[in-house]
């Protein structure tokens, strides 16, 4: 299906390899930057991953302007404003974000301020409002899920107002994303599973979105294929470097897909369940993925059916009669979740995740106001959301 009109933007250089981080100083010099501010979080620093990045600068004549390793799990506008001041005080000329979604989004926020000026990043909130490119930023993801290194958006909490601010602009995309197998090796299997399901949902929802286009479809295809092939393998063997690199690539490709073809109801429901039920994002998204696929099959049956090929492989695809392929795709996702549940204890339902049934109504009410719902192929009404949340409490055997 070729849309009448679409836009696609992905100017990020991908540097992927077993020791890809070693290319960082060279990339910096190519961008005429010599004094980075590195930001990361405590978990990354304690796992020794920040040190890996620092080691890459050995025998260069670059000066690291500073290393900030206290980014909290939820990025905040106040921290962004402070880090922008640190960047200016230390006369830095580029940013390096080493971490997951919170660290990367914090970096994006800092980059807005240090490039376009000002002391409060909230002045730049909105969609497609940034005027012109930002300073060089390099992203080194340490999880394989958010895909934030490949997305044009940042979500930063405003602690004063108690809301999450959305920033969307193609200029938020970093200059380069460095995918290094060593950076995700220490990720525990359960977290690996949850984050990879998030990436799988990014890719699959982008394929069903009303914004879908041939370019995002191509990225979806390969992301789904890599996750289907490598996720169970990595969960079984967490030190599988090839598998880790494959998942990192899949996450970035899924991020590219949904940055250009927005996600839908799985993320609306997942965001709401995460906020109301206080469960990790990847867990919530995984729970709603098969439910959302089945729900969207009413409008996107042929597309859900097509996803069976990259997810389950050519044999399963060809052995499944065409009218049953959409349902078989949903079953393949459930099979995968069953396997991950057995291997890691990953929750498959809101009940298993410890969410109280009394919170169902609040989850449904919040979900229909989530921005992702807009790009879903089927209108997500309150009644629909209630039914889908109800389904999420019970495991439907594959």
The residues of the shown chain that bind another protein, judged by CB under 8 A, are 5-7, 125-129, 163-166, 209-211, 262, 368-371, 373-375, 377-379, 381
CB of 127 to another protein, least distance (A): 5
CB of 360 to another protein, least distance (A): 19
Q: What is the residue-wise DSSP string for 337-393? A: HHHHHHHH---SSTTTTT--GGGHHHHHHHHTTSGGGGGSSS---HHHHHHHHHHTT
Nearer to another protein, 18 or 129 (CB): 129
CB of 214 to another protein, least distance (A): 15
**How far apart (Å, rounded) are the C-alpha atoms in residues 327 and 312?**
13
Partners of 180 in the β-ladder: 17
Nearer to another protein, 167 or 317 (CB): 167
CB of 380 to another protein, least distance (A): 9
CB of 84 to another protein, least distance (A): 20
Helix, strand and coil in the chain, % to nearest 5: 55, 10, 30
CB of 156 to another protein, least distance (A): 12
**How far apart (Å, rounded) are the C-alpha atoms in residues 363 and 268?**
10
Query: How many distinct helices (H) and strands (E) make up the chain?
Result: 15, 9
CB of 129 to another protein, least distance (A): 5
Nearer to another protein, 33 or 367 (CB): 367
Residue corresponding to tokens 């995002």: 216
CB atoms within 10 A of CB 379: 11
CB atoms within 10 A of CB 347: 23
**How far apart (Å, rounded) are the C-alpha atoms in residues 37 and 82?**
13
Nearer to another protein, 171 or 317 (CB): 171
CB atoms within 10 A of CB 35: 16
Nearer to another protein, 14 or 210 (CB): 210
Nearer to another protein, 125 or 281 (CB): 125
CB of 359 to another protein, least distance (A): 19
Contact 9, 173 (CB under 8 A): yes
Please state the length of the chain.
398
- First CA to last CA across the chain, in angstroms? 30
Computed on alpha carbons and rounded to an integer, the radius of gyration of the chain in Å comes to 20
Contact 278, 218 (CB under 8 A): no
Nearer to another protein, 306 or 370 (CB): 370
CB of 290 to another protein, least distance (A): 22
Nearer to another protein, 164 or 241 (CB): 164
Nearer to another protein, 212 or 328 (CB): 212
């Amino acid at each position: 299906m070729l849309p009448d009109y679409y836009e696609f933007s992905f100017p990020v250089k991908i540097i992927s390899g077993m020791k890809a981080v070693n290319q960082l100083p060279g990339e910096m010099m190519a961008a005429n930057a010599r004094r980075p501010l590195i930001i990361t979080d405590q978990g990354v620093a304690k796992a020794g991953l920040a040190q890996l990045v620092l080691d890459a600068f050995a025998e260069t004549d670059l000066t690291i302007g500073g290393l900030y390793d206290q980014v909290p799990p939820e990025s905040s506008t106040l921290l962004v404003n402070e880090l922008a001041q640190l960047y200016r005080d230390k006369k830095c000329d580029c940013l390096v974000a080493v971490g997951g979604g919170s660290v990367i989004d914090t970096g994006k926020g800092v980059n807005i301020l240090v490039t376009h000026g000002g002391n409060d990043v909230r002045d730049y909130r909105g969609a497609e409002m940034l005027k012109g490119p930002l300073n060089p930023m390099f992203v080194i993801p340490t999880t394989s899920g958010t895909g934030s290194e490949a997305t044009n958006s940042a979500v930063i909490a405003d602690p004063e107002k108690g809301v999450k601010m959305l920033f969307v602009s193609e200029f938020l995309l970093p200059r380069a994303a460095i995918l290094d197998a060593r950076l995700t090796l220490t990720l525990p299997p359960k977290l690996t599973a949850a984050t990879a399901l998030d990436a799988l949902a990014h890719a699959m929802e982008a394929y069903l979105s009303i914004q879908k286009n041939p370019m995002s479809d191509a990225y979806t295809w390969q992301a789904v294929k890599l996750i289907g092939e490598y996720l169970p393998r990595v969960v079984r063997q967490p030190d599988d470097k090839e598998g880790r690199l494959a998942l990192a690539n899949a996450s970035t490709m899924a991020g590219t897909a949904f940055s250009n073809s927005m996600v839908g109801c799985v993320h609306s429901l997942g965001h709401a369940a995460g906020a109301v039920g206080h469960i990790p994002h990847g867990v919530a998204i995984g729970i709603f993925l098969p439910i959302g696929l089945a729900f969207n099959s009413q409008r996107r049956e042929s597309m859900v059916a097509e996803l069976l090929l990259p997810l389950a492989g050519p044999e399963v695809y060809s052995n499944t009669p065409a009218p049953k392929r959409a349902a078989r795709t949903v079953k393949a996702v459930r099979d995968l979740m069953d396997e991950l549940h057995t291997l890691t204890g990953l929750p498959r339902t809101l009940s298993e995740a410890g969410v109280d049934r009394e919170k169902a109504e609040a989850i449904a009410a919040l979900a229909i106001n989530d921005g992702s719902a807009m790009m879903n192929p089927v209108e997500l009404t309150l009644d629909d959301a209630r039914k889908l949340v109800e389904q999420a409490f019970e495991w439907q055997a594959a």
